[in-house]
Chain A
Amino acid sequence: MMKRMLTAAVAAAALGLTGLAAQAESLKIGFLATLSGPPAALGEHMRDGFLLGVKQAGGKLGGLDTEVLVVDDELKPDAALTKVRGLIERDQVDILAGIVFSNVMMAVYKPIIDSETIFVGSNAGPSPIAGKACSPYFFTTSYQNDQNHEAMGKYAEDAGYKRMIIMAPNYQAGKDSLAGFKRYFKGEVVDEIYTQLGQLDFSSELTKIAAAKPDAVFVFMPGGMGVNLVKQYAQAGLAGQVPFLSAFTVDETTLPATQDTALGLLSGAQWAPNLDNEANKAFVAAFEQEFGYVPSIYASQGYDAARLIDGALKQAGGKADKAKLMAAMKDAPFESVRGDFSFNTNNFPIQDVYVVKAVKREDGKYATETVEKVFDDKVDAYVGECAMN
């Protein structure tokens, strides 16, 4: 009996030791993305970008054997919360990353920060996290949510539009979007239209637009709503007449469905596949070869998240010293596919923002292309409220 217990103890100790040894050499990342329901395409782009980043590092981010646990948050805050707890407590991940939607982000933010787990976001950038609720454990390779809407507001202002109709779904992100647009657009907003979330038919709204004859429209209609709107906008003959500005509406996730009807439409974005820098050229070529489709901003952000983790681990010499790793993260020691990239005090990017246009490339595939730079080294509107420095 005694002997047996001893054996067990030795075995346990041995296991524990090997466990430790393995831990020192390997890295476990929990990656959350929305992979079911209608918006799954966004999550898939983001995941594919991240996994490509890991693959290009030979499966070893920062030289550590990397295991990525990809988890579907189902776009349900409560489900995401359960899964995040599982990743932190059961799987003991070193780093969490991903998250497409802000409502999911807000639901899991506090548990992540409280557990002192480093989080590298690759899409959602809600204002509280950039401002009052900022945390040293949170980094993002995407944007603060308002940024691309602000870019279109500035573009509309610079283009000399005087009367505009702006439109978004009737929920928090829609309201934030239009508020961000109006922060830079100083002309008259003839009508501010809030539609139902998941709306199918826009003929009523298009009729309003045609009747009001604005200089241009600005819309935020993510996912399938955007596809419906873009198609119907063209079919109503408005496409050539009233300039169509948007954010998160016309991109590589929706272009396969809108095709020619979206050509020439303008969006705000911090990245496009044709951005001219070495890192981006290599990324786009590798991505298209690996997955067979054109990457979107979500893919670029996922890829940058993996590159950031890789660069920070290298600079910090591994994951053992968390404070050192976080300090390394803050330096953003990697070549971003969007060119200029650095972290502000709230760990949100300082970056350039462009107006991009939907085009059909020579190989027949649809993509966005930069038209002009709207902001140079854009700083988000909430950094002043963040107590970190």
Chain B
Amino acid sequence: MSATLLAVQTLNGLQLGILLFLIAAGLTLVFGVMDFINLAHGVQYMLGAYLAVAGYGITGTFWGALLLGLLGALIVGLVLELLVFRHLYDRDHLDQVLATFGIILFLNEAVRAIWGSTPLTLPMPDILSGSFELMDGLRYPVYRIALIAAGLLVAAVLYVLVTHTRAGMLVRAGATNAPMVAALGVDIRRLFMLVFGFGTMLAGFAGILAAPILVVEPGMGDNLLILAFVVIVIGGIGSIRGAFIAALIVGLVDTLGRGFATDIARLVMSPSAANGVGPAIASMLIYVLMAAVLFFRPTGLFPARGG
């Protein structure tokens, strides 16, 4: 296992981490700030991708698709907030889980009814469709660099918004003691609606950016939702910083595990046994990591709330 290979796999891991962060950021924001478990986050990611594909059909460019996809994701998110989520903020987590799980089923089938079951695609923008040689025989798409840049940008914007703006301050205050903030004359419902709309748009944004490299199909967000929950649990629920670092860790652990677990297993056992053991270990690693974090730091690596 050469140094180049290790470096390339590390880059692959960071890039997967950024993609996970894009999805987890909105989830942790809504969960942490509003104390609302939104299982529908994964389908909102899917909707972003589908709306972008539809937007591409209308405008014929990636950028038009991005714009229409974001707009559509925001509108759908706000409508859902108005019709469903708003009535669940004061209910306990189990009710929220049940209701948002229903939304998963509903939206997955709705997408199938509208766009069909056959997987779809969103082409890359021409300007980002090039690639450069990363190592001998392996090229690295410019689009993936753009994805990393977009992820870092989102992280920076979120950081500034939450910690350095008045809206961010209200959000943090609302999360700590909503009745008190309301008593001070802030429209807490509207605030939550804004946070929720923003979270939805982040999910949609992730879906749109992922669409050119991943498949667009009904249920595409369901697997990712599990990974996103792993990320926010490791990072500490509600913490943007925690989500960012945890996403990178999960991306790295998963990629390096897949890259090297079988090779390492081969050092200590027969090749055929290693072929069985390696992948099994690789697929467990992030969950083992999560269990370890929960054991030693039950509130995650970077708990958002004091105490």
B105, closest chain A residue (CB): A36
Stretch in contact with the other chain, from B131-139, B166-174, B189-197, B293-301: B131-139
Interface residue A232 (Cβ < 8 Å from any Cβ of B): yes
Given A196-B279, A227-B119, A257-B121, A235 and B131 contact (CB-CB distance below 8 Å): yes
Which of B5, B141, B217, B262 has most A Cβ within 10 Å?
B217
Most buried by B among A38, A203, A256: A203
Report whether B119 and A224 are in contact in the complex, using a CB–CB cutoff of 8 Å. Answer: yes
Which among A198, A208, A235, A242 is the interface contact of B141 at CB below 8 angstroms?
Answer: A235
Q: Is residue A213 within 8 Å, beta carbon to beta carbon, of the partner chain?
A: yes
In the bound assembly, the distance between CA atoms of A231 and B116 in angstroms comes to 20
A44 to B275, CA, bound (A): 35
- Which chain A residue lies CB-closest to B135? A210
The answer to the question of B289 belonging to the interface, with a C-beta cut-off of 8 Å to chain A, is no
Distance A50 CA – B136 CA, assembled complex (angstroms): 48
Identify which of residues 122-143 in chain B touch chain A, using a CB-to-CB cut-off of 8 Å. 131, 133, 135-141, 143
Chain B residues, Cβ within 8 Å of A195: 258, 279
| Contact stretch, chosen from B80-88, B92-100, B199-207, B208-216 | B208-216
Decide yes or no whether B118 CB sits under 8 A from chain A. yes
Which A residues from 58 to 107 make CB contacts under 8 A with B?
none
Instruction: Give Cα A256–Cα B123 distance, bound, in whole angstroms.
Output: 12
* B112 vs chain A, min Cβ distance (A): 7
The stretch that binds A, out of B8-16, B33-41, B65-73, B228-236, is B8-16
Taking a contact as CB atoms closer than 8 A, the residue among A193, A210, A258 that contacts B262 in the complex is A193
How far does the alpha carbon of A45 sit from the alpha carbon of B223 in the complex, in Å?
24
Report the Cα distance A323→B20, complex, angstroms.
Answer: 58
Chain B nearest Cβ from A265, distance in angstroms: 15
Interface residues on A, range: 35 or more
Whether the Cβ atoms of A210 and B217 lie closer than 8 Å is: no
Kindly report which residue of chain B lies nearest to residue A192, judged by CB atoms. Answer: B275
For residue A246, CB closer than 8 A to chain B, the reply is: no
Is the CB–CB distance between A257 and B119 below 8 Å? yes
In contact, B215 and A207 (Cβ under 8 angstroms): no
**Identity of the chain B residue whose Cβ is nearest the Cβ of A39 in the assembled complex:** B117
Interface contact B279-A194, CB-CB below 8 Å: yes
Q: Are A207 and B12 in contact (CB under 8 A)?
A: yes
Q: Which of B112, B121, B213 is in CB contact (< 8 Å) with A235?
A: B213
Quick check: A257 and B138 within 8 Å, CB to CB?
no
The residue among B133, B138, B213 with the most chain A CB atoms within 10 A of its own CB is B138
What residues on B are CB-neighbors of A211 within 8 Å? Answer: 2, 5, 135, 137-138
**Which residues of chain A from 200 to 215 have any CB-CB distance to chain B below 8 Å in the complex?**
200-201, 203-208, 210-211, 213
Query: A192–B131 Cα gap in the complex (Å)?
Result: 28
Cβ–Cβ < 8 Å partners of A259 in chain B: 121
Query: Hey, which chain A residues are within 8 Å of B140, CB to CB?
Result: 236
Q: Give the docked Cα–Cα distance between A44 and B119 (Å).
A: 13
Once the chains bind, are A236 and B215 in contact (CB under 8 Å)? Answer: no
A170-B118 contact, Cβ under 8 Å, with A40-B112, A210-B137: no
Q: Is B219 an interface residue (CB 8 A)?
A: yes
B139 adjacent to A228 (CB under 8 Å): no
The distance in angstroms between the C-alpha atoms of A298 and B97, with both chains bound, is: 37
Give the chain A neighbours of B223 by CB distance below 8 A: 198, 200
**A41 in the interface (beta carbon within 8 A):** yes
Say yes or no: A224-B215 contact (C-beta < 8 A), given A201-B19, A210-B135. Answer: yes
- A236 and B121 within 8 A (CB): no
Give bound CA distance, A293 to B133, whole Å. Answer: 38
Chain A residue numbers with a CB within 8 Å of B76 are none
B60 CB to closest chain A CB (Å) equals: 15
> Is the pair B118, A293 in contact by a Cβ cutoff of 8 Å?
yes
With A198-B223, A204-B12, A257-B120 in contact, is A237–B215 under 8 Å at CB?
Answer: no
Report which of B19, B215, B280 forms a contact with A257, defined as CB distance below 8 A: B215
What residues of B have a CB within 8 angstroms of the CB of A40 in the complex? 112, 117, 218
Asked if A173 is at the interface (CB within 8 A of a chain B CB), the reply is no
Q: A40-B112, A204-B9, A257-B217 are in contact. Are A210 and B138 (CB under 8 A)?
A: yes
Q: Which residue of B lies closest to A256 (CB)?
A: B118
Interface membership of B224, Cβ < 8 A: yes
Q: Is there an interface contact between A170 and B5, defined as CB atoms closer than 8 Å? A: no
When distances are taken between beta carbons in the complex, the residues of chain A under 8 Å from B109 are 36
Across the interface, do A38 and B217 meet the contact criterion of CB distance under 8 Å?
A: yes
Contact (Cβ within 8 A) A41 B259: no
Judge whether A224 and B279 touch: CB under 8 Å. Answer: no
Give chain B nearest CB distance to A153 CB in angstroms.
17
A228 touches B141 (CB 8 A): no
Among B136, B215, B220, B256, max chain A CB count under 10 A is at B215
Measured between beta carbons, the chain A residues less than 8 angstroms from B219 are: 37-38
CB distance from B64 to the nearest CB of A (A): 19
* Chain A: CB-nearest residue to B129: A235
CA distance A41 to B219 in the complex (A): 13
Task: Please give, as numbers and ranges, the residues of chain B lying within 8 Å of A254 by CB-CB distance.
Answer: 119
- In chain B, positions 258-307 with a C-beta closer than 8 Å to chain A are 258-259, 262, 275-276, 278-280, 282-283
Least distance between B256 CB and chain A CB atoms (Å): 8
For residue A203, which residue of chain B has the nearest CB?
Answer: B12
CA distance A208 to B131 in the complex (A): 18
**CB pair B139 A236 closer than 8 Å:** yes
Given the interface contacts A170-B280, A235-B131, A258-B121, does A194 sit within 8 Å of B213 by beta carbon?
Answer: no
Q: Assess the B217–A205 pair: CB atoms within 8 A.
A: no
Q: Give every chain B residue within 8 A of A122 (Cβ-Cβ).
A: none
B217→A224 contact, CB < 8 A:
yes
Contact B275 A237 (CB under 8 A): no
Shortest Cβ distance from residue A252 to the other chain B in the assembled complex, whole angstroms: 9
Instruction: Supply 20 A–B pairs (Cβ within 8 Å), ascending by A.
Output: A35-B117, A38-B217, A170-B280, A192-B275, A193-B279, A196-B258, A200-B214, A200-B224, A201-B16, A201-B19, A203-B255, A206-B138, A210-B135, A211-B5, A227-B217, A231-B212, A237-B133, A237-B137, A257-B119, A257-B215
Q: A195-B258, A235-B213, A258-B121 are in contact. List 5 more A-B contacts (CB 8 A).
A: A194-B275, A227-B217, A231-B214, A257-B118, A259-B121
Pick the 9 closest A-B CB pairs, nearest first: A237-B139, A210-B138, A257-B119, A40-B117, A227-B215, A194-B279, A203-B12, A224-B215, A41-B117
